[in-house]
Copies of this chain bind each other. A is one copy, B any other.
């Protein structure tokens, strides 16, 4: 067991070194970077489609998937520059995967990079990719106890996008409970309720992204 822990800390040290290189590269290009983490089906790609339709070319996306290129195809159609990482079975992205993907993106006209992590609430939270902020995505269909059950993610996230609020009338989900549990873990966390179906909440979320860009620029 201690052997496995030692290996794991080596893996993390190597990852953190590359994450710092990614961060320096993105800073040099004046590009803000978000690491978007949520369950499979929480709606990460749908959120990015709406962001791409609003932002167009200044948005770049790196999307991690186990095996298919569905997500990158959807985002390219929506107007973003998208690069796909097929992780070949790995359940999270690493800084090295992102570094390789960054070589395939022309960042000169970009303002915001969103890295869509593999759908998983556990391992992605433990790997720095070089992002400025971690963004948690939680669908109301998943249940409001998720921040309490997955504290590693919700402690490290700067923002929670509470997605699919159009389903609120049909599920047991309290945004107040999420707000309370998240604030217990992390006082500075921001909560944005959203619906990709109706567009509700996107104004506020896009304003946050624009403020992030101007702070960086």
A21-29, A118-126, A206-214: which lies at the interface: A118-126
CB-defined contacts of A89 to chain B, threshold 8 Å: 122, 126, 152
Given known contacts A39-B39, A41-B143, A167-B141, A66 and B149 CB-to-CB distance under 8 angstroms: yes
Which residue of the partner chain, among B120, B141, B145, B166, contacts A91 with CB atoms under 8 Å?
Answer: B120
Which residue of the partner chain, among B7, B66, B151, B167, contacts A150 with CB atoms under 8 Å?
Answer: B66
Residue of B nearest to A141 (CB): B141
Which residue of the partner chain, among B4, B119, B123, B142, contacts A121 with CB atoms under 8 Å?
Answer: B119
- Give chain A's interface residue range (CB within 8 Å of chain B): 35 or more
Contacts of A121-168 to chain B: CB distance below 8 A:
121-123, 126, 139, 141-143, 145-146, 148-152, 164, 166-167
Tell me, yes or no, whether A171 is within 8 Å of chain B by CB.
yes
- Interface contact B167-A123, CB-CB below 8 Å: no
CB-defined contacts of A142 to chain B, threshold 8 Å: 39-42, 141
Residue of B nearest to A172 (CB): B197
- Interface contact A66-B167, CB-CB below 8 Å: no
Given known contacts A7-B7, A91-B123, A118-B122, A164 and B150 CB-to-CB distance under 8 angstroms: no
Contacts of A91-135 to chain B: CB distance below 8 A:
91, 118-123, 126
Tell me, yes or no, whether A174 is within 8 Å of chain B by CB.
no
- Interface contact A149-B67, CB-CB below 8 Å: yes
- Distance A91 CA – B11 CA, assembled complex (angstroms): 17
